[in-house]
Structure 1
Amino acid sequence: MKQHCYKPLLLKLEYFFLYSHLHSSLEAVMLHVVDEVLKTFSKKNVDYITFITSLFVVIGLAFFILHDAENTAILIQNYKDSVISVFGPVYLILTPFCFVFVLYLSASKLGKYKLGGKEAETEFSTISWIGMLFCGGIGGGIIYWSGVEWGYYLDESLFGINPYSKESYALSTAYGLFHWGISAWALYAIPAIALSVSFYKYNLNTLRLSSSLRGLGIKNVESSLIGRIVDFIFVVATIGAAGGTIGSYIPMLSTGFSNIFNLDGSFLVDLGVLGLCVGLFGYSVYRGLTNGIKRLSDINMLLAGIFLIVVLFLGPTFEIIKSSFDGLIFMFSHFWQMSTLGIKEQSDFADTWTVFYWAWWVAFGPLVALFIARISKGRTLREMILGMLIFGSLGSWLFYMILGGYSMSLDVNEILAVSQITDSTHGDTAIAVVHTMPFDTLMLLLFCGITVIFVTTSYDSMSFVIAYHVQKNSLEKNDPGKYLRLFWAIVLGVLPAALIIYSSHQVALNVIILASLPLLFIYPLMAISVFKEISTKKN
């Protein structure tokens, strides 16, 4: 009887001790997390001048867009028009210059220069390296543009070709391949080479754009006034370009997910999709390069390959292959004309499209370069250059040839009027193209999933690089702390949220052009710096 009476008391004591143990364990974990966070954000590990500047830029741009949306849109549009009018030819001249420069480096004996020294070993396999390079370099833009971009060009009369003629379809395919091809990847290559050389030659702990100018002989360039200005320009360009791109992709993703799950397309769906993207790239960047970004890149390369194979072989295979070859032949035969259109005399087409795309690649160039520098230890400059020009271009071209060829066949056979696309119908048209495919719901789910992961891997690299950027230089060569990476993953979602609230596709694209302008003047300096760094006898 007594034993029976003691049972409830014993159970209570057991629950008490179990609860106390769990509570103390949870308290210990929380204290450990707090201690790690404080250590991560301490003055010893973080350059607070760069950190506060970067944070101020994000909040300032978001407030500027939201405070007076209508006047802000007009102001941004006016500034964009002025930039194109004055500096458009500079973008057009810079791109072929970069292409010729990196080809020279690759073909000459300087291409044998090995990042990290002769004994350095690669950190990632070639396949994973190519996947990370490609996913970090193109982001969700390849999905957003590749299927429908040709539709914007069909009514253009360039090089003596009549609009809507048979030749105009080849021209339309060619310009998509041109804007995402070897010239574009050359704009990534210049800062990638300059930063990689400095990062490994001087055994740097931080990745900052100012480090790419070490070859100019400026003492302690990262902490100099010039270095601070260059790094500030980098932060503004990165945040503007990042916010502009994801701000334009979200409406398309919202349309796709609304169709899949029978939702009413609304502002809440937009925010939900943004939350999904931010959550995914927050988790991925928290996990680090190997467990996060690398794994997502590998998965996405596989999913993208499956998607393209299904479209090619279950779609109009012959028509896709024919339009692809027509586009490639036109691009290579008119490469010089396409590269110089708008330089000697003003061209509305070049101002609207080619300048926009070169500005896009310039804006993202240093950001992608910082990430490529981090993953390229043990590679030669020749490997890096050819990897970007060949594999970067081929990956982009596959999307443009297969998705673009599929949607072109829909237009030619009068199944879907893709050629009637406008800025306001871009996202809906891209989703409508996928809806015509076999197993449309499954393909749409795969399409949206690939886009989300592309956006995620692209933003992962941005968060990783910004975290590296604000890290204080030291003798210890470590990746940024996971809480610092997570913090920037969340903060970088602020500007896209502002653009979604404002809901303007054109403003998002204009922001990218404005963000790229200051970088125009840094590109030649990086080219001079890298040439001086690697051409000395010692190197």
Structure 2
Amino acid sequence: MTDKTPDSVYSTDYEVGQDNVRWLGLDMHNPVFFTSAFLVVFFVVGTIMFPQAANEMLTAARDWSINYFDGLFMAAGNFFVLFCLLVIVLPMGRIRLGGDEAKPEFSRLSWFAMLFAAGMGIGLMFWSVAEPVAYYTDWFGTPLNVTANTPEAANAAMGAVMYHWGFHPWAIYGVVALALAFFTFNHGLPLTIRSAFYPLLGERCWGWPGHIIDTLAVLATIFGLATSLGFGAKQAASGLHFLFDIDPGLNTQIAIIIGVTAVATMSVVRGINGGLKLLSNINMLLALALLVFMIVLGAGFGIFGQVADTAINYATHILPLSSWTDRDDDTWMHGWTVFYWAWWISWSPFVGMFIARISRGRTVREFLIAVLLVPTAVTILWMAAFGGTALEQVQAGVGRLSGGITEVSLSLFQVLENLPLASVTSFLGIVLVLVFFITSSDSGSLVIDSITAGGKVDSPVTQRVFWAVMEGTIAGALLFGGGKEALNALKAGAVSTGLPFTLLLLVMCVSLFIALQREANARRR
């Protein structure tokens, strides 16, 4: 094994890249690369040919997993949070990723920017306005069955939106990221999902059990990214229509996908430092600018009260929302919370592996505190500014959003139009959506490339370009060939992978805890 620490208890004869096939500038792991590529092509062609049938079949699979395994999803979400908190307070939290002498590769600010941009930056642009308004107005049920359009509904809406975007999703990402970083940097195992199961599977990790795990991770990642790229193109097109009266139809959406893919490809070629790090820092500066605009032009000094109220509502509602028994809002819970948990879990291989890749040199405690607390604190501020302002406008009967949500992709712009400098903030919002998509595509390409190269982090640039182009091609082809039905099928397929990954993540926690405890005990001797 390459780069193995001298005292690694996970010694193995497996060499990174030993099963790889090198052809046309690609360094492809056999059979993960070829199996994943075949299944992706098979899915795309089948969905384009039969978009409605594919949507119905995959939606049924998604609904089955959500409706019949709701308790598993809810219990697992709670468990991941408690697991991360336990690891933080135990002595194993002092273990440094990469060994005692390892130094962080990135500054804390750049590190925060990259993990946040990859994790859910684009989702906050899409849902920070629409989601609290949906809960308040009973667009698809209300959390905890509160009466819609009341002060109680507003409090529950802000508490529920933070529940979906706070500790729970970041704990899911944190578990995967910590496991991959620990086994890769401390024990020299390949940077692939299968490595997290080595304490339990041993050498079988390099056989078919590991191949299946990594193939599932590739499919979940590329389908999730392509889904976000497709729906994100619709939001950006809606913003361009809203601001410049540009036709938001298919041609505009395809042009956006091509543009985002082209820039993401250039960023991939430049690597993490020259591309992704730079884009992530730009991303956070643009997000900060939009946030400042929103606070100054909207809430003003009232933002302090909104932040406090949002945090209080989150703390007040987190326990009742975490329960899955005797709920009066069963339909809402399945449609929102359980769906979200399945979605976050399906994204965990992508986000977790990327966070692991940029986190060498951090202690386990520092890592988990940062991954849990920093994004949650930023999200509280963001939701208070955007969601709080949206609810105030709806309650006051101001603007088109007060009449109800007509199109989710327009919700942000419908709030901004009621504030000064609407053209400036709307344009900034469009640019931010696009840059968030570029960083997601870029980081996703690096992750898929590592898995399909058998854990290599230095595979050829050609291969990274291949996956960046593939993501845009899938999104564009499905949008062009099957329209919204095809994209919905892709999204349902991605969410459906949340069920097997929930089981894998629970087993991963056991494997990780065993390994961390063993290393902590060895340090004490």
Q: TM-score, normalization: structure 2?
A: 0.89
Instruction: Show the counterpart of 2:458.
Output: 479
Deviation at 1:419?
5.5
Deviation for aligned residue 1:485: 0.8
Note if 1:497 corresponds to 2:476: yes
Q: Residue 69 of structure 2 aligns to a residue in which SS?
A: helix
Report the Cα offset of residue 263 of structure 1.
1.6
For residues 105-153 of structure 1, give each alpha carbon's deviation from its aligned partner in whole angstroms, at most 9, with x where no partner exists: 0111011111111011111111111111111111411101112211111
Residue 207 of structure 2 is aligned to residue 227 of structure 1 = no
Q: Contact 1:320–1:406 (CA<8 Å) still a contact in 2?
A: no
1:87-236, aligned counterparts within 5 Å? 87-154=69-136, 155=138, 156=141, 158-159=143-144, 161-204=146-189, 206-219=190-203, 221=205, 223-236=206-219
Aligned to 2:319: 336
Q: Secondary structure at the match of 1:46?
A: strand
Identity level (%) = 27
Indicate whether 1:456 and 2:438 are aligned: yes
Whole-angstrom distance in 2 between the partners of 1:142 and 1:499: 24
Tell me which residue corresponds to 1:530. 512
Structure 2: how far apart are the matches of 1:426 and 1:320?
Answer: 24
Question: 2 CA distance for matches of 1:361 and 1:303?
Answer: 25
Q: Which amino acid aligns with 1:203?
A: G
1:295 is aligned, of 257, 271, 278, to: 278
- Contact conserved, 2:142 with 2:332, CA < 8 A, in 1? no
- Aligned amino acid, residue 443 of structure 1: T
Q: How many residues align?
A: 495
In structure 2, runs of 5+ residues without a counterpart are 1-20
3-state SS, counterpart of residue 379 of structure 1: coil
Q: Deviation of residue 41 (structure 1)?
A: 4.8
Deviates more, 1:498-507 or 1:101-110: 498-507
1:96/1:339 contact within 8 Å kept: yes
Instruction: Classify the secondary structure of the residue corresponding to 1:219.
Output: helix
- SS of the aligned residue for 2:312 comes to helix
Q: Distance in 1 between matches of 2:490 and 2:430?
A: 20
Alignment of 1:264-413 (within 5 A): 264-317=247-300, 320-342=303-325, 347-413=330-396
> How large is the RMSD of aligned CA atoms in angstroms?
2.2
Q: Which has the larger radius of gyration?
A: 1
Tell me the CA shift for residue 102 of structure 1. Answer: 0.7
Displacement, 1:181? 0.2
**Structure 1 Cα separation of the partners of residues 116 and 325 of structure 2:** 29
The answer as to 2:53 corresponding to 1:71 is yes
Aligned to 1:16: none
**Per-residue displacement from partner, 1:163-192 (whole Å, max 9, x unpaired)?**
211111111111111100011211111111
- Partner SS for 1:120: coil
Write the distance in 2 (CA, Å) between the matches of 1:464 and 1:343.
Answer: 43
Q: Which runs of 5+ in 1 are unaligned?
A: 1-37
What residue in structure 1 maps to residue 3 of structure 2? none
The change in CA–CA distance for 1:253 and 1:160 in structure 2 (over 3 A counts) is: closer
Q: Residues of 2 paired with 1:335 and 1:346: CA distance?
A: 15
User: 1:394-420 CA distances to partner (integer Å, 9 max, x unpaired)?
Assistant: 222222111111222221221124365
Tell me the CA shift for residue 261 of structure 1: 3.6
Q: Over residues 204-230 of structure 1, what are the superposed CA-to-partner deviations in whole Å (9 max), with x where a residue is unaligned?
A: 4x4211011112152151x21110111
Report the alpha carbon displacement of residue 161 of structure 1 after superposing the two structures with TM.
3.1
Amino acid at match of 1:483: T
Distance in 1 (alpha carbons) for counterparts of 2:387 and 2:494: 24
Which amino acid in the other structure matches residue 55 of structure 1? A
Kindly state the Cα deviation for residue 40 of structure 1 after the two structures are TM-superposed: 7.5
Structure 1 residue aligned with 2:12? none
Q: Name the amino acid aligned to 1:188.
A: Y
Q: For residue 7 of structure 2, what is the aligned residue in structure 1?
A: none
> In 2, are the aligned partners of 1:303 and 1:450 still within 8 Å (CA)?
yes
**TM-score, scaled to structure 1:** 0.87
